[in-house]
Structure 1
């Protein structure tokens, strides 16, 4: 007999508030002793395969000011284009790479930073290869539901031009809001604009 769960009421929605950092990144919030390091702070080690890259950026509001209380997570494939996930049907993902990272924006300048690897190409649901990309999830005070977007690589011009998701953008000139800027060898800047003329394309997923 199925148990009646009608007594479980939906929890009221709230903004992330200041507590998201205490729960998700306690060390970054100055609360030590919960975890040796915040979950998601390290994505790779000396045995991880692939080209090491650094991604820096800020989450910028409609007034062109950085959010200093933002929290950013990323998901990505490994260098071979495989996800470290039980749902990866192709198997064989690099066990030395988590494929997931989390970073609290700096309380002074609002910057986030990830040390990761450049991902390989992943097939779209119809089999076409997507360009190398990293999925971003952003939450902060005033954002009720996390925002999703993707970061593509500036040197992958041909792959970007063929990417099934980017091809769906109605306004082609906005594609550049999802492409990082190179900052030297294996270093990228990806600023995420919440509003304004340079508003980043966000995905409904």
Structure 2
């Protein structure tokens, strides 16, 4: 019996109104009762509470104001809220492990309220530095972009197996800087889609 080969479905971009579909409340559309997805961890979650600020820029240096960022991370003890993690049942009930935020519609600014993640083992069993995984959906992008955010005050960055794969002069594009001040720690990072300061993205 002959085999029929199906053609690939044409790709489509995520815009121009991606935030309306993923987080309708950002556009003033109240469709869901629970949309504080930028809050990844609550007060019961183990780990240092932090705010992670992200500014998103295009290749010309202009802010990207209609994109959506999704975040995936471990808790402060390096445990993922996932059935394949043998310690998932030890995680606090108020830790999602997943976040979604839309940019400020004028500045391209995002913020996540979470905890600094603990170290987790990489594919080869090596300990990775604390980090969060990021998926970016925006106008004009056919396939979402994947990257990581590390933290500037972590000594483990020097031995992280993924960071060591990145050319030294490009690693800083993945590092969120800790801001001075008291209270909840704030880390800030700029993500550039193109240009001389382009962020390192991963093919996953």
Q: How does the TM-score come out when normalised to structure 1?
A: 0.89
Q: Give 1:53 deviation, angstroms.
A: 0.3
Q: Give 1:126 deviation, angstroms.
A: 1.4
Is the 1:73–1:136 Cα contact (8 Å) retained in structure 2?
yes
1:49 pairs with 2:46 = yes
**Counterparts of 1:161 and 1:7 in 2: how far apart (Å)?**
48
| Residue matched to 1:21 | 19
Q: Give the structure with the higher percent strand.
A: 2
Q: Cα RMSD (Å) of the superposition?
A: 2.0
Moved over 4 A (4+): 6-10
For residues 41-190 of structure 1, what are the structure 2 equivalents within 5 Å?
Answer: 41-91=38-88, 92-156=90-154, 158-169=155-166, 171-184=167-180, 186-190=185-189
Q: Give 1:37 deviation, angstroms.
A: 3.0
Q: Give 1:58 deviation, angstroms.
A: 1.3
Distance 1:36 1:142, change over 3 A: same
**Counterparts of 1:20 and 1:60 in 2: how far apart (Å)?**
17
Deviations 1:29-81, CA, capped at 9 Å, x for gaps:
1101x111326233222322221100112111110011001111110000100
SS in 2 for 1:125: coil
Q: Give 1:20 deviation, angstroms.
A: 2.3
SS in 2 for 1:102: strand
Deviations 1:145-176, CA, capped at 9 Å, x for gaps:
110111101001x300100101112x211111
